[in-house]
């Protein structure tokens, strides 16, 4: 057999294997695929994440629908994700995927890379629509208008033990806060012109870096959040905030600060301590 015939035979074999695998993937039963995906998700997320359905989308992307995150106070619907596998990573022993996650309140694009027990999460863009936040997240009687932009990089050596290291940045444009709680206190609506927050993570402890809020309120904060991987709502808070009214809201807000039991300083500022957990915060002024 000459060289040309050998090459032709190898090419036929490669094409046959490729189209056979392609056919099997495209026609793989959705029920079996969903069961397998759930098995992997439950194992990787310590039993907190499940999917309602899974299917293959051409060209070889995976669509996950009805993604649910279980937490200590119930469950959170995360919507639908489209997962595109990065096959070149398999050559180096790494599993990698590009993911787009969408629901009424969240639009996010991120990359997840895992090697053995370790994984890296790189969220290039995440937009949060505050007006669409579900009750599981927005537990206070407030109504919000505006959007947050989030980016983060996280690394974990063991998913069951949480996040080993990373950093996070949150910014916003104009945000309006209203609702029965602020109306009762006498300063609704509350207008925020912009916000920025930076934090670093080390051994499941999120430490706040440079951050500020500007608008009707001017505020800075410092402290840390000790994350509990098995129940994020049980994460411990140890935060201190310095808050004062903006120049245009001073006359409106100072009497409210006094009614709340705070003792404003000469510049109208107050110090707020936040303890307890994310699910049950304790606020002292």
pLDDT one-digit tens code per residue, 110-144:
888 877 678 888 998 899 999 998 887 777 778 89
Beta-carbon contacts of residue 233 (< 8 Å; ≥ 6 apart) = 71, 72, 73, 277, 278, 279
Per the CB < 8 A criterion, the answer to whether 91 and 81 are in contact is: no
What is the rounded distance in angstroms from the CA atom of residue 15 to the CA atom of residue 137?
50
What pLDDT is recorded for position 6? 47
What pLDDT is recorded for position 28? 56
Query: In residues, how long is the chain?
Result: 285
- What architecture (CATH level 2) is domain 139-285? Beta Barrel (2.40)
What pLDDT is recorded for position 222? 92
pLDDT one-digit tens code per residue, 211-238:
999 999 899 999 999 988 777 778 899 9
Per the CB < 8 A criterion, the answer to whether 246 and 215 are in contact is: yes
What is the rounded distance in angstroms from the CA atom of residue 218 to the CA atom of residue 198?
17
Residues of the chain scoring pLDDT < 70: 1-29, 44, 46, 59-60, 72-73, 85-94, 116, 159-160, 162-163
Domain residue extents for the chain: 139-285
Which structure tokens are listed for 17? Answer: 């294997």
What pLDDT is recorded for position 20? 44
What pLDDT is recorded for position 131? 92
User: What residues does 225 pair with on adjacent strands?
Assistant: 206, 237
Which structure tokens are listed for 5? Answer: 């015939």
How many angstroms separate the Cα of 266 from the Cα of each of 103, 153, 256?
46, 41, 16
Nearest to 128, CA basis, from 66, 185, 197: 197
């Amino acid at each position: 057999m000459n060289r040309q015939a050998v090459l032709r035979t190898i090419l036929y074999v490669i094409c046959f294997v490729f189209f056979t695998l392609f056919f099997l993937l495209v026609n793989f039963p959705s029920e079996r695929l969903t069961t397998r995906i759930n098995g992997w998700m439950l194992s990787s997320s310590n039993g907190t994440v499940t999917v309602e359905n899974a299917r293959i989308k051409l060209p070889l992307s995976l669509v996950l629908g009805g993604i649910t995150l279980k937490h200590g106070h119930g469950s959170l619907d995360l919507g639908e994700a489209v997962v595109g596998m990065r096959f070149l990573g398999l050559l180096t022993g790494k599993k990698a995927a590009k993911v787009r996650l969408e629901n009424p309140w969240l639009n996010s694009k991120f990359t997840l890379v895992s090697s053995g027990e370790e994984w890296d999460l790189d969220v290039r863009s995440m937009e949060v629509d505050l007006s669409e936040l579900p009750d599981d997240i927005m537990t206070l009687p407030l109504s919000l208008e505006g959007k947050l932009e989030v980016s983060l990089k996280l690394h974990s050596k063991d998913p069951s033990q949480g996040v080993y290291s990373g950093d996070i940045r949150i910014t916003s444009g104009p945000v309006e806060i209203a609702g029965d709680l602020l109306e009762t206190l006498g300063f609704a609506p509350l207008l925020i012109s912009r916000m920025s927050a930076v934090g670093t993570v080390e051994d499941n402890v999120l430490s706040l870096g440079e951050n500020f809020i500007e608008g009707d309120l001017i505020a800075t904060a410092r402290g840390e959040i000790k994350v509990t991987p098995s129940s994020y709502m049980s994460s411990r808070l140890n935060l201190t905030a310095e808050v004062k009214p903006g120049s245009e809201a001073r006359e409106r807000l100072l009497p409210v600060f006094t009614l709340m039991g705070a003792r404003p300083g000469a510049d109208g500022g107050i110090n707020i301590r936040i303890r307890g957990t994310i699910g049950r915060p304790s606020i002292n002024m």
